[in-house]
Structure 1
Amino acid sequence: MKNSSPRKSTALIAYTPFVGFLIAYYINKDEKEPFTTWHIKNMFGLTILFISSLIVQSQISYIVGDILWLLCCIIWLYCWAMAYFSKTKGIPFLSEKFQEWFTFLD
């Protein structure tokens, strides 16, 4: 499925760390493109994972938190690449759960 440039651009904006999904959400609010919405929900879940890794780093174990943070970065790059190549692929299991859990972003 080929996506038009504005839809793809909005999906890529969603992967701007921490605030990108909010910007993309407001851009997509009126159009409600399924491709873009999928990536917004995915990045929202990734943001929660990033924040969780920082909490683990500060409260539980610095090393474990760093490992989780690095893993989040690798996953983020993969998901950004999937948006760039116009695919709705993400983290196995978690991306599908993000789509179910974050229906308020539809």
Structure 2
Amino acid sequence: MNDAIEKGKTAAITSYILIVGCLIAMSMNSDEKNAFASFHIRQAAGLSIMFISLGLIVSNFGIPEATIALWIFMSVLWTYGIFTAATGKTTPIPLVGGLFQKLLKTIG
């Protein structure tokens, strides 16, 4: 298991660089599927989709405080995801990680 984590760590960390990093990580993980990398690719893809969706909603209100709150919230979740990937853990992102694993089970 530790060998699989080490092999998938680069793709896992790369996946958290917004949509572009997610696509790169998917490409990196396409030849030899790595369960650790796949887990983090799903988490990062879910975060990216959530960020874009919430950003579109919040931008319609024109309230700077809501925009700042969204950025802080997403930054904390992204930091948590990157930290768990870097430390070799498969802990879902709080609040939404389990949902991402279920909804995006075909990604990775």
State which drifts further: 10-19 or 60-69.
60-69
The equivalent residue for 2:91 is 89
State which drifts further: 75-84 or 64-73.
64-73
What stretches of structure 1 of length at least 5 have no aligned partner? none
CA deviation vs aligned residue, 1:27-85 (integer Å, no higher than 9, x gap) = 10121111000000000010012112321331124222321221001110111000000
5 Å matches for 1:59-74? 59-62=60-63, 63-74=65-76
CA deviation vs aligned residue, 1:1-50 (integer Å, no higher than 9, x gap) = 5322x311111111112211111011101211110000000000100121
Residue 72 (structure 2) pairs with residue 53 (structure 1): no
TM-score of the superposition, structure 1-length normalised? 0.88
5 Å matches for 1:25-64? 25-62=26-63, 63-64=65-66
Higher relative contact order (CA 8 A, sep 6+): 2
TM-score of the superposition, structure 2-length normalised? 0.86
Opposite residue 97 of structure 1, the aligned amino acid is: L
Contact in 1 for aligned 2:51/2:74 (Cα 8 Å): yes
Identity %: 32
Matched positions, count: 105
What stretches of structure 2 of length at least 5 have no aligned partner? none
